[in-house]
Structure 1
């Protein structure tokens, strides 16, 4: 399956792109997708946590991705 993946903030710098197409197998969960990302882009381990949104809605780890989904990788936000 082909998943359009968008990166924001520091994650853009860590992977070297703001958008990538990532191929995953069918029945891949958000949790599995995070593992795929960390394997392909080990630099992502440099941040403690990040949120995942699928099709513009925050997703839980057990959500199963579908072909053509758009996944956003959103780093923690800080500031004041």
Structure 2
């Protein structure tokens, strides 16, 4: 719902990025699963998960499964020009 709201408010054609962070590893796993679903629904948008556990900040970009690699490459070409 947040992705749809953002796209409706700011326009669907822009190269949007979405991210969430948490310091609880269980929440990071849940966020990662949700972001993977979003990536499959919106392959041309970028999704990030940031883990802030134990003073280590890890930022991960969610990529689709390999079967969608062709869509991802096309989206990257559009993103980076």
Q: Same fold (TM over 0.5)?
A: no
Higher gyration radius (CA): 2
TM-score using structure 2 length = 0.31
Q: Which has the higher contact order (CA 8 A, sep 6+)?
A: 1
Higher strand share: 1
